[in-house]
Copies of this chain bind each other. A is one copy, B any other.
Amino acid sequence: MSKSCVVYAPGTVANLVCGFDILGLCLSDPADKMEVRLLHEKKIIIKSADGYPLPENPEENTAGAPIIEMLREINEEVGFEILIHKHIKPGSGIGSSAASAAGAVVAANHLLGNRFPKSDLLRFAMFGEKVASGVKHADNVAPCIYGGITLIRSISPLDVIPLDAPDLFVTIVHPQIEVRTADARAVLRQNVQLKSAIRQWGNIAGLVAGICNKDPDLIGRSLEDVIIEPIRSQLIPGFAEVKEKCRQAGALGGGISGSGPSIFMLSKNEQTAKDVAAVMQNIYHNLGIDFYTYMSQINKEGVKVVSN
């Protein structure tokens, strides 16, 4: 019987309001379940446990491409069979493709005796994002692998700094509309006013200081995006109402998750996070738009390995 394990690969929130392209956080729920088995031949088999159509060619698969990169760096006759229970909906804006990529490399590394550090796993997982969106970005794979809140200080050279996350709760609403990442990118302006950029980086500095010093009120005051959100939020019906009423219900603040359509809100405690979920549900119920909501603490662990 060959070695195998089960991993839970969680959803993630990228583009943390003012932290566009640099800050992301890891959720506890939803998470994909992945059953991964070590093979003694150079072969990658990927299967869907629940009918989501997956590309059979590993090179075209968000879980397969990172494994190919990992196997390039070890000179052994090994491979993996990966069965994916997809609980994070593709197109939700909470890192579905990143979870497949991160889960696959963490599981494979576990079965190989943890020979790669997280920085290498991140590097491999980014190839999954390239398959998914054409861009080898780390916005979601970084928080998925490291857990907590991650700062991507620089893309080239890659410099990822895991921050010690505060004990906050995250509520997500995923309205069932499609926001194509390409559209979300296309609406952005290439130039911004210097005075807006300064306001944005004041808020980013406040947000990072609030995270590092575990100051929820500073985090709340800093959750303001004067550059991206005013444009992108127009692609998400109900956004302004969600933001306003969730704050009234006690949320510290929040914004678009990734490039949408999901919206996230941070709260100091579980009861507020539940109240916030009720507010979100009510708004999309009234708008006649189907939705999912999720509530969880910031996940400080990232992908979790559960041995068989």
- B-contacting residues of A (Cβ < 8 Å)? 18-23, 151-154, 159, 161, 163-164, 188-195, 197-209, 212-213, 218, 221-222, 227
Min CB distance, A161 to chain B, in Å? 6
Alpha-carbon gap, A200 to B200, bound state (A): 10
Q: How many copies of the chain does the oligomer comprise?
A: 2
For residue A228, which residue of chain B has the nearest CB?
B194
- Name the B residues within 8 Å of A152 (CB-CB): 202
B202 touches A153 (CB 8 A): yes
B206 touches A153 (CB 8 A): yes
Assembly CA distance A161 to B152 (angstroms): 23
Is A198 touching B161 in the complex (CB atoms < 8 A)? no
Alpha-carbon distance A277/B298, docked complex (angstroms):
46
Some 8 contacts from A to B, beta carbons below 8 A apart, are A18-B201, A20-B198, A151-B202, A154-B199, A161-B206, A197-B197, A208-B212, A209-B212
A188 to chain B, nearest CB (A): 7
Measured CA separation A88–B126 after assembly (Å): 51
Given contacts A22-B205, A189-B194, A194-B191, contact A159 B221 (CB under 8 A): yes
B151 and A209 contacting across the interface, CB-CB below 8 Å:
yes
Question: Do B205 and A153 touch (CB < 8 A)?
Answer: yes
**Of A22, A197, A200, A221, which is in contact with the most chain B CB atoms at under 10 Å from its CB?**
A197
Q: Contact at A23–B205, with CB atoms within 8 Å?
A: yes
Q: Is the CB of B191 within 8 A of A222?
A: no
| Nearest Cβ on chain B to A141's Cβ, whole angstroms | 17
Residue of B nearest to A153 (CB): B206
Q: Is the CB of B198 within 8 A of A201?
A: no
Instruction: Provide the residues of chain B in CB contact with A21, threshold 8 Å.
Output: 198, 202
Q: Which of B189, B191, B204, B209 meets A201, CB within 8 Å?
A: B204
Q: Which residues of chain B are near A154, meaning CB under 8 Å?
A: 199, 202-203, 206, 221
Query: Within 8 Å CB of A218, what residues of B?
Result: 153, 161
A22-B198, A201-B204 known; 6 new pairs, CB 8 Å cut-off, are A20-B198, A153-B218, A154-B203, A190-B195, A197-B197, A205-B208
Cβ-neighbour of A197 out of B19, B161, B192, B203 (below 8 A): B192
